Every structure is written in structure tokens, then in C-alpha cells.
A and B are shown apart, each in its own frame.
Chain A
Amino acid sequence: MYELDWSSIPGALPFLWQGMKVSLAITAVAVVAGIAWGTVLAVLRLSPARPVSLFAAAYVSLFRSVPLVMVLLWFFLIVPSLLRDVLGLSHATDLRLASAMVAFALFEAAYYSEIMRAGIQSVSKGQRSAALALGMTPLQAMWHVVLPQAFRNMVPLLLTQAIILFQDTSLVYVSALADFFGAAYKVGDRDGRLVEMLLFAGAAYFVLCCTASWAVRLLRRRVLA
């Protein structure tokens, strides 16, 4: 029978915290940039101009059809060489974090755009008609009248997606970038305590995500009330 030994965890906490900061940084950038770009995509998707809406539809369906792991591998391949050419950086610069942020932002935008599209469609048509009748341009009506309501309706779903995104950031493991999960794996591997570290990492994710989901449920009740 395997003897569990948790003694390597306390000493590893500072390193794990460094990893957690990487996970949270990627999540934060991807949520903000993903919602912004996703909202633009949703508006484009609903635009009457056919080429524009086709572009948005193609973008969303492409990113939703390819596994996240594959998208990450693409971005770890392309982004570093692109950034080095544009910014003239040396090869020593570590661009894995930047690549991960770009990849998650562009990938999650596809999912956020579907949420925002549903949000825009949930706002009653009279709102837009009234805004247009008041003399607003279609863009003004979208920005000042439709989007604020759509966003408010969709806040719980956007946050739930952010929790999923936080869990998905563990996949930067494929680039050996030390996020929280990667840090836990590295420590476990080094100390020969992989079993304990993996269980600890799983439990930490569980507690964090459960608490966050519970907070979102509370918020949803207040939004609906």
C-alpha cells in the first residue's frame, strides 16, 4: 500500500504561488480581451453586411472545431517568431506567457461571442427601434442601449465561462510553462511525490472553482431578482 507523505508541500508553497499567479494572469488577460473581441465578433455576426457576418461566423466555428491543445501548439509556434520579427527581440526572450495569453484570448473570444450573441438577441427589439427612432445611428443604439443590457443579462454566463477558462489554463502544460498545475507537477516530479502533489493541485482547483461557482450562483439570483 502506498504511504502518502505530504511533507514536501509546505516548502513548495511559494513556488506554487508563483505558478498560480501565472494561471491567474493568463485568465485575467483572456477574460478581458476575450469578452472585448468576442463582443465585436457577436456584433459583426449579427451585422446585415454579408461578408462581415460570414467572417465572424467562420472565425467562431473554426476556433470551436479545433481542440484547445492544438490551438495552443499553433500559437506557441507562430506568436514567438511573429513578435520577434515585429519587435526585434532576441531569441533568448521567453515569449511563452505572451503566446499563451494571445492564444487564450483569441480562442475564448469564439466562445464569448456566442454568449454575447445570445445576450444581444435577448434584448427586446423595441429597445433598438426606440433608440433608432430617437435619432441614434445603429452603432450608437448598439453601444448605448443594446450592449449594456445584453452584458448585464449575460454576466453570470460570462463568469461561468471564466471559471472554465481558468481550468483550461492548465493546458499551457504543453509548452512547459509553469502555471499552477505545471508548478505542482514539477515539484512532485523533483521530490518523487507526484501522487501527493497531483492530489493537492486537484483539490486546490476544486476548492477555488467551487467557491467561484457558488459566488456566480448568488450573483445570478440577484441579477434575476
Chain B
Amino acid sequence: MDFRIFFSPVPTGETTYLGWLLVGLRNTVALSLAAWVLALALGTVLGILRTVPGRGLRAFAGAYVEIFRNVPLLAQLFIWYFVVPEIVPGGHRFKQIDPFAQQFLASAACLGLFTAARVCEQVRAGIESLPPGQKNAALALGLTLPQTYRYVLLPMAARLIVPPLTSETLNVFKNSAVCSTIGLLELTAQGRQLVDYTAHAYESFLAVTVLYLVVNAAIQLLMRAVESRARVPGYLGSRK
């Protein structure tokens, strides 16, 4: 083990190997954030659709979840990166942009849509866990269905599903490592590149693993703070 390797300059000389890992970490965090925003937005909409009275909308959201949960993430990623630009009209323009942007966009779309299916199920479970009286009372008071969702169901459901969303946040972050397979230089890919250049495999993997553990712990701390603020008094798991 020789950890001085991290402070020696890379072949191009502009940074050190540690600098490489930090760039990888930055890309991992940026990718996870982008995917997470997309997953939350789309997952919430789909989760609502799974609980509305309209049969067609429910079936659509259900089919979405089935498709995105039953195809491996790696296969989805390769389809977004290699297949979609070929078969979608105008895809050739995608192939002309900067390679990093291509990899980043494909990865963010893939991770975001994949995670949206999981967020959808959490949102649905949250809405369905509310007593039916809440919805009926809101409708009886004369609220329209959209108003019932906006003012009664969603505010409660959102607070109830924070704990399962914590583990989805961690999943997005961990799943982002899969995107190293299409050449996106995130943390895992930078670690492998370091091995290729220096043959210091143990040091590199150890550093990458520690960085993952640190970010993982940071997300957990952050989400614990969110959880304690979001907790509903009187519900399971609340301290008040």
C-alpha cells in the first residue's frame, strides 16, 4: 500500500490522481441530484395516477412501473445510450454534442426514469395508507378531486413517505456507479482509470469505497434531519 500515489500528478500534468477522484465524486453527486429531481417529479405524478379513479390512467402508470422494474438497470442504460439516439427521429443531433454531455444526459434520464418507478410505488403506498375518510370528507366538503389531492392527500402522504424515500435517495446514489459502464467519468470510472494508469488497485478502490461511504453517511444524516421535521405527531415513529 502506497497512498502517496494520490498526490503524484496525472500524465497530462494538470492535476493529481486525487484530483481525478474528486472530479469523479463531483460527477457522481451531480448525476445523482439530476436523476433524483427527475425521479421525484415524475414518480409523484405517476404515483398520483395510480390512485385516481380513471382506469386508463391507472393502467398507464401500472404498466410504466412494470416495465421499468423488470428490465435490469444496465440494460436500460445501454438502451438509452446506444439505442434511443438511433431510432428516435432527430437522434443524430444528440450524437453530435460533446461526448460527456451525451453520457451525462443518457445516464440522468436512465437513472431518473428507473427511480421514478420506485418513487411512484412509494407515493401510491403513502396515499393508500391514509384513511379513506380523509378523501371522502374532502369531497363531501365540496373540494374537487384535484383540490382534494392538493390540500388533503398529498401534504399528508408526502410526510409519511419520507423514510422510504431516504432509502431511494441512497439507491440513486449507489446506482449511479452503473453509469461508469458507458464511459461516464464518475467516481467508479475514475477509480478504474487510476488503476489502469498506476496499477495501484488496492489504494484506488479503497479510496473510492471510502468516498462512497462518506457520501452515504452524509445523505443519511441529512435525511434524518428531514425525517424528524416531517414526522407526523400521533403516527408510528413520531416522538411527540
Q: Give A2 to B89 CA distance when docked, in angstroms.
A: 9
Q: Mark A91-127, 1 if CB is under 8 A from B, else 0.
A: 0000000000000000000000000000000000000
CA distance A201 to B213 in the complex (A): 33
**Range class of the B interface residue count:** 35 or more
In whole angstroms, how far apart are the Cα atoms of A114 and B47 in the complex? 26
Q: Flag if B180 contacts A202 (CB, 8 Å).
A: no
The verdict on A74 contacting B83 (CB below 8 Å), with A66-B213, A69-B180, A69-B188 known, is no
Instruction: State the CA gap A173–B188 with chains docked (Å).
Output: 14
Chain B at the A interface: SS class: helix
Assess whether A195 is in contact with B82, with CB atoms less than 8 Å apart.
yes
Inter-subunit contact B75/A205 (CB<8 Å): yes
Closest Cβ neighbor of B216 among chain A residues? A65
Q: Which of A162-208 contact B (CB under 8 A)?
A: 167-168, 170-171, 173-174, 181, 185, 194-195, 198-199, 201-202, 205-206
Contact A206 B212 (CB under 8 A): no
The distance in angstroms between the C-alpha atoms of A73 and B78, with both chains bound, is 20
Cα distance, A62 to B216, chains bound together (Å): 10
Q: Does B175 contact A (CB under 8 A)?
A: yes
Q: Which of B65-73, B126-134, B225-233 contacts A (4 or more CB under 8 A)?
A: B65-73
Which of A65, A66, A199, A210 is B79 in contact with, Cβ under 8 Å?
A199
Collect the chain B residues with CB atoms within 8 Å of residue A201's CB. 75
Minimal beta-carbon separation of A148 from chain B (angstroms): 29
Q: Does A1 contact B (CB under 8 A)?
A: yes
**Known contacts being A77-B202, A173-B181, A174-B181, is A202 close to B213, with CB within 8 Å?**
no
A interface residues, how many (CB within 8 angstroms): 32
Q: Which residue of A lies closest to B87 (CB)?
A: A2
Q: Is A213 an interface residue (CB 8 A)?
A: yes
Q: Which of B74, B86, B208, B212 contacts A170 (CB 8 A)?
A: B74
The 10 A-B residue pairs whose C-beta atoms are closest, nearest first, are A67-B177, A209-B70, A167-B72, A69-B177, A67-B174, A170-B72, A65-B216, A170-B74, A202-B75, A2-B86
Cross-chain pairs A/B with CB under 8 angstroms, 24 sampled: A62-B213, A65-B212, A65-B213, A65-B216, A66-B212, A67-B175, A67-B212, A68-B174, A70-B191, A70-B209, A73-B192, A167-B70, A167-B71, A170-B74, A173-B181, A174-B181, A194-B82, A195-B87, A198-B75, A198-B82, A202-B76, A205-B70, A205-B71, A210-B70
A residues with a Cβ closer than 8 A to B are 1-2, 4, 62, 65-70, 73-74, 77, 167-168, 170-171, 173-174, 181, 185, 194-195, 198-199, 201-202, 205-206, 209-210, 213
